[in-house]
Amino acid sequence: MGHATALSLLVLALLAGPAEAEIYRWVDAQGVVNYSDTPPRLAPVEGERDALIDEALTLSGVRTQIEGLPAQVRAGAELAKSSPLPAPERAKVARIIGDAFRAGPILAAVRAGLQKSYDATQMGLLLAQLRTPVARRMATLEAVIVDPHIGQKLREFAARLKDAPPARERVARLAQLDAATRTTDFVLELRATAVASAFKVLGALMPPEKRMTPAQVDLAARNAVEQQRDAARQETLLMFLYVYREATDQELDEYLGIEAGEPGRWFQTIYRKALTEALTAATETAVSQIAKAFRPKPL
């Protein structure tokens, strides 16, 4: 998805059984369901590079998610009730963070990453897949994650699950989707880079003898984040249960095949690398500005 990067592949291979032939189920651009014992051959979409990149960013949901990022991080900062800062200063921090995470530069960085590693064949196949009904349906469902109040809605949703737990088969499908998209791994990677960036900026404000080396910073950040792996996996599962709550099991099965496709993996690798670098820079900017804003004044 876009949280799990919303990518698409037309083909979903359904194994009929260990002694039977492989059967492929796929949906064409007109929404017609097809079955065959051979996979469909997709014609790559052709066009000008930058136009295709922009279309992929839009259809995949990446653009929507990045554009919703400033409001999300600002809302998160404003709702940090456990912060020792009074409300006016929390609001100041929220403004600094919102400005550091402006969508324009982050989106530009992701676009530049795709331009640098552009592959016409992979992009053409990706867009053929992103234009399919299942891909469009999932992108629509995934758009809910840009809601600045998504955290509160997830907590309310989790409370309802206690009385109506999901079927084990549903959980298994979503766990497979997490594995295919590596969403939990990506979230943990982003957290590690954010923590390391904060250590780096704050360390610059400390006396030289108390600063950690870059290797120590990276190790401390990754150790801290690795302890959150099980919790992060549960958070991803909860998010998937909420985001895809209106999707049928058949749609999830098709989407699982979609996410495992080569064009999707190509897109995810490039987009996530560029996004991680952009968010790391934004985090360093935010922490630096916050440190300056609240630096004790000399007596």
The two most distant CA atoms of the chain are separated, in Å, by: 82
Q: Does residue 48 carry a pLDDT above 90?
A: yes
pLDDT band at 34 (very low <50, low <70, confident <90, very high): low
Measured between its terminal Cα atoms, the distance across the chain in Å is 52
Burial 265-276 (b: 16+ CB within 10 A, else e): bbbbebbbebbb
Strand partners, 33: 27
pLDDT band at 77 (very low <50, low <70, confident <90, very high): low
| Element spanning 174, H or E | helix 168-181
Per domain, the residue ranges of the chain are 11-293
Say what percent of the chain tops pLDDT 90: 35
Render pLDDT for 150-193 as a digit per residue (tens, 0 to 9): 888 999 999 999 999 999 999 999 999 999 888 998 888 888 87
